[in-house]
Structures are given as C-alpha cells and as structure tokens.
Chains A and B, each alone.
Chain A
C-alpha cells in the first residue's frame, strides 16, 4: 500500500474504524513508519477532543467517595504493581456494584475463553485433517494439537493479500507458554532462494517469528520458534524474504491478519 493510500486511512484508524485487511496492512506499515505514527497521533488527539462535545453530567456523590476510598494511599500501594491484583482490590473496596461488574467481567472472560477454545478446537480438527493428508511435519502437528487443548490458547486469522489472494492462514498461540503454530494454505511455493517469514507486530517494529516453506500443494503446518513474546500482539503478517530470513521485513507481504 503506498504512502498516499496509507495517509488516507489515518482518520479512520484514529477512530478505530478500520477493519479487515486494511486494518492489518495499516498496522504493519505503522510499525515502521514514523510519519504515519505522527499523523495518527495528531488525529487521535483530535478524536480525544471530540468528547468535549458531550454535555457534562455530574456522577453521584457516592461515586466520588468510592474513588477516593479505593485510591487512598493507606491501601497497599504494592499491590498496584500487579494489575490483576489491583483489579481485585478495586472490586473488594468499592462496594457491591463494582464487585458485580468485576464478576460479570470475569464471567464474560470465561465465556470468551470457552469460545476461543471452541474455535481453537474447530481449527485443530481442520488442521489435523490437513496435516494427516500431507503426512508431513509430525512434530508441528503434535505441538499444534497439544497447544489447542489449552483454554488460554488464542487464534488469529490471516487473509491473503494482493500478492497471494488465494492464501489463508491461522496462527494459534499460547501467550503464557510462548508457543505457537501457523497453519497456512493456498501459498505458492516460494521462488528459488526465497522463503516465507512470519512477523509478530505489537507496538514497536515487527519481530521475526520464523522462516518456513510450503509444500507442493501450497500448505504448511509450522511451529514457531519457542520463547517469542506475544504480549500486545496486534497483527501477524507473512512476507517473502531471502531463504535465511531477515530481521526486518523487506519483501512483498502475502498474508496479514489483525488480532481481535
């Protein structure tokens, strides 16, 4: 995507209104484009100011008391260091209303995890069929099956971009254990001397997440190197790179997907 097209997306990105491939492509470009980052920051500030158009409505006086009691410094400051504990403390101190909302949040979280696990299981079944048919990469398949059995496992879908419109892929990862597997299909075998490279994009520059090749049918089940950092991941992307891999993306992007 060229610079002009990217800049056109900035107002929509600042509102959080981008979706699909455009969002993924924008975030990939954003990670390495300071001019785009500045333009986005400027529009995000404008988005913030738009909130001033709404008329102020005073909250109840009980809300003020609750805030000041929850944040009172005599409460253990140390536990603020751990966000999870902090959330628990807020709930404990701020009355039934917050307890209920925290509980609801936990319940929704559990439901989301169940949904993610179900999706992961569905993905696993599909991937198992693919992997069995291919009879390749047994270690990856075992790792994948093992991985998707965990409720914390997350899944992202990657769509083929203009360079590989028929391609699709999924990345399944366990953030805590830092293990992940990519399942892709519809990719043409990489040209001689080239390979596909996967990137993890969080807030900073894209981080290389392994080099892989596809089989004659354009498929692969690829186990990512262990120990990669998935915290804050927003986008996964695949580019065509020299066989040995690179430290920053240089070639055409074939797959990208935003993490929801």
Chain B
C-alpha cells in the first residue's frame, strides 16, 4: 500500500537520496496541493505551500516518526499548518470564501474514502463548526461569533464530532 512505499521513500530521504524526493513528490504533491487549495482558495499560494512542505520534507525527513502516524497525516499536518499561516497573514481576509469546486472528484485511496465518508456522516451543524476550525483555522470563540451560536454549543459540537470521527476511523493503520 501507499504508506509502505512512502515509509521506504522516507528512509531513502533521510539518507539524502535526492531521487527519492521526486518519487515522494509524485506520490503526494496532489494531496498536499489539494488541501492547500481547499484552505487558501488560490492556486499560486497553494503551490508555494506545496514547495515549502516538500522542502521541509527534504530537510526534516529524519523527524518523521512512524509511531505517531502515517506519512499522509504528517504531510497533511504540515500542509494545513503552513496554509493556515498564510491565510492568517493575508491582509484582506475574505469573510465568506466562495465554495471550492476542486472537491468534486472522488478521493483515491481506501483511507481517503473512509475519511470522506466519516465527515459526510457527521450532522451538518457539527461538520460546519469542525470545518471552520479545520479549513479556516478559526478558534472556538471566532466560530461561535461566525455562527452566532453560544460558545459552549460550538465547543460541544466540535468535541462530539472529533470523538465520533475517532470512533469511526480508529487509530491510524
């Protein structure tokens, strides 16, 4: 499966094998770029984020710890952190970003399908609150303000959603 292939590539990367970087990029640049586009809604900025993430992979492959999750989760975490940093630094932040149409094709791996299904299975109010935290990097108070809901309600929704996702998706394979 892709993760085993990725683990082998990461081992080569830690030895400074530059060719492995190209292979790793070919496996995952679409994933990183898709997530960056979803957060930033700007292709040029998303590609800059992809660049930063894979430069970081090249420099810090040795820091990848398989006991803490899959390479995909590691990459998504780096991509989300960097994309949200860019979002926060934007001077003119859009209040209500337009809906992205990038997300119409089906995700490819079994795990991706499971994650998508788990998110789709959440009640819409929970999902909405979770997405504001995940894709827009809003804090609990900002989400409460955006949704015009009490802070306690928002916290409960997000917590319930996360507990449910963990129950459905289980520990990483």
Q: Which residues of A contact B (CB under 8 A)?
A: 8, 11-12, 14-20, 41-60, 63-64, 66-68, 70-73, 80, 86, 90, 94, 97-98, 101, 105, 108
Tell me, in angstroms, the Cα distance from A20 to B141 when the chains sit together. Answer: 9
In the complex, B76 has a CB within 8 A of chain A = yes
In the complex, B104 has a CB within 8 A of chain A = yes
Chain A residues with Cβ below 8 Å from B35 are 51, 54
25 A–B contacts, CB within 8 A, in A order: A11-B158, A15-B158, A17-B143, A19-B142, A42-B171, A45-B68, A48-B69, A48-B73, A48-B76, A49-B73, A50-B119, A51-B72, A56-B107, A57-B46, A58-B30, A59-B50, A63-B29, A63-B50, A64-B26, A67-B21, A67-B25, A70-B55, A98-B48, A101-B48, A108-B89
| Contact residue among A17, A50, A60, A98 (Cβ-Cβ distance under 8 Å from B76) | A50
**Complex contact A15–B134 (CB within 8 A):** yes
Tell me, in angstroms, the Cα distance from A44 to B134 when the chains sit together. Answer: 12
**Complex contact B159–A49 (CB within 8 A):** no
Chain A residues with Cβ below 8 Å from B21 are 67-68, 71
Tell me, in angstroms, the Cα distance from A15 to B116 when the chains sit together. Answer: 18
Q: Which of A50, A72, A97 has the most CB atoms of chain B within a 10 A radius of its CB? A: A50
Chain B residues with Cβ below 8 Å from A16 are 84, 133, 137, 139
| Size band of the interface chain B makes with A | 35 or more
Chain B residues with Cβ below 8 Å from A17 are 133, 138-140, 143, 158
**Complex contact B143–A51 (CB within 8 A):** no
Tell me, in angstroms, the Cα distance from A97 to B72 when the chains sit together. Answer: 27
Question: How far is the CB of A48 from the nearest CB of chain B, in Å?
Answer: 3
Q: Which residues of B contact A (CB under 8 A)?
A: 16, 18, 21-22, 25-26, 29-31, 33-35, 37-38, 44-48, 50-51, 54-55, 58-59, 68-70, 72-77, 79-80, 84, 89, 102-109, 111-112, 115-116, 119, 130, 133-134, 137-143, 155, 158-159, 162-163, 165-166, 169, 171-172
Known: A41-B68, A52-B112, A57-B34. A64 touches B165 (CB 8 A): no
Chain A residues with Cβ below 8 Å from B48 are 97-98, 101
Question: How far is the CB of A27 from the nearest CB of chain B, in Å?
Answer: 14
